[in-house]
Amino acid sequence: MMSQSLRASRSLFTRAARQQVPVARTFVTSAVRRADTIQDLYINQLKAYKPTPIKASDADAHVHKFALPKAPASPEEANLAGELSAYEQSVVEVEGQAAAGEAAPVEESWFVEEEEEAAAAH
């Protein structure tokens, strides 16, 4: 059975080799893409665009000129001698001491102690 199938396949192969049909090669091409007219107009406008050259004077309208601020007056230039003499003549105030001619302040106790009920607990 195997030999019959080999003979049959051999005969088919020889017949196919004799009957070779000439094959013409063809190329598959897609349809030509139509260009988008709006895109073409846009690209043409981009190519034709010429920007205006930038000048150094263009920034003058948008930038303020820098001016140094006025220097502040030094506190040392004020009446230094007068302030020093006023400080030396001032009276030193110490907390808890009475000033001249006043009575000494009485200290109040703000702490409240609760009485313990020791007898009731036993």
How does pLDDT run across 71-116, given as a tens digit for each residue?
887 766 667 788 889 999 998 887 767 666 677 667 777 888 888 7
pTM here is 0.23
Residue 90: HSE in the Cβ half-sphere, 13 Å Cα cutoff: 9
The C-alpha atoms of residue 94 and residue 92 are separated, in whole angstroms, by 6
**Residue type present at position 25:** R
Helix, strand, coil percentages (3-state) for the chain, rounded to 5, are 45, 0, 55
Per residue in 2-56, pLDDT (tens digit) is: 666 656 666 766 776 666 666 677 777 776 666 688 999 999 999 999 988 888 8
Q: Of 94, 116, 114, which Cα lies nearest the Cα of 105?
A: 94
- Measured over the CA atoms of residue 32, residue 36, residue 40 and residue 41, the dihedral's sign is positive
